[in-house]
Amino acid sequence: GRLSLLSGATAGASVTPVDADFSDLLAEGEGGLLGMVVHPDFAQTRLFTTCQTHVEGGTPTDVRLVTWELSADGAAATRVADPLLGGLPINPSGRHSGCRPTLGADGALLVGTGDTARGAIPQDLSSLGGKVLRVDLATGGPAEGNPFADADDPAQRLVYTYGHRNVQGVAVDADGEVWTAEHGPSTDDEVNLLRPGGNYGWDPSQGGTVGGYDESVPMTDLERFPDAVPAAWSSGSPVEALSGAAFLAGGQW
């Protein structure tokens, strides 16, 4: 729950604390200040957006995106859209609070989310958990061209892909393709190539036939969901606890 401003990206850069109010941040378990994107027009607007777990009156409320404006001197940040988008499910323990915001090649905000360790959420298109969302960075509404844009449910209109467990990394390659890194249970961390509207096959509720959170099911259950998108890469066992993801280019790589 802290922000700092770096003077540069090389050795010896100075680090200056940024005064920002995170008094409503729930820092518990896997929850807290989870990610940040700097807006493409930051040089003019000084805007950036964070993803964070939110508490009101001591009660965990949701995971939300908040847009901030950095002061001209870089010493403070104030909220200008609180929330830009709220209502992402939260687990009071913080478990599976994945919330990774990344800018797509077209400027849309892509947000990987966790399923909060609740079995029915990944396949529930009315829930924002266990998904990758595609959001308009200015309004917090659905980005133009979303696969469920005509859905009656406003939450579903935000969904880009579903059937995820706990997305921790979202990265865009040189061709504009979107890839995610996702935690498996005791096996099968995944790297996934996203396809609009795709189901990635995680269903701990087994179609609503079991209660609780049955982690014995496959990460991508092709028997239950024959059209689910298989992982581009899977760790098998043991898992490697994939976190952030980025594409690197240059001779050294």
Over the stretch 67-116, which tens digit does the pLDDT of each residue have?
A: 999 999 999 999 999 999 999 999 999 999 999 999 999 999 999 999 99
Divide the 253 residues of the chain into consecutive groups of 10 and give the mean pLDDT of each group.
93 96 95 96 98 96 98 97 97 94 98 97 98 98 98 98 97 97 95 98 95 95 97 95 91 92
Tell me the whole-structure pTM to 2 decimals: 0.96
What element of type H or E holds 43?
A: helix 42-45
CA torsion 61-101-130-91 (nearest 10°) is -30
Of 145, 50, 160, 139, give the one whose Cα is nearest residue 101.
50
Give the per-residue pLDDT at 1. 87
**C-alpha–C-alpha distance, residues 202 and 22, integer Å:** 33
Strands 178-182 and 167-172: antiparallel
Give the per-residue pLDDT at 53. 97
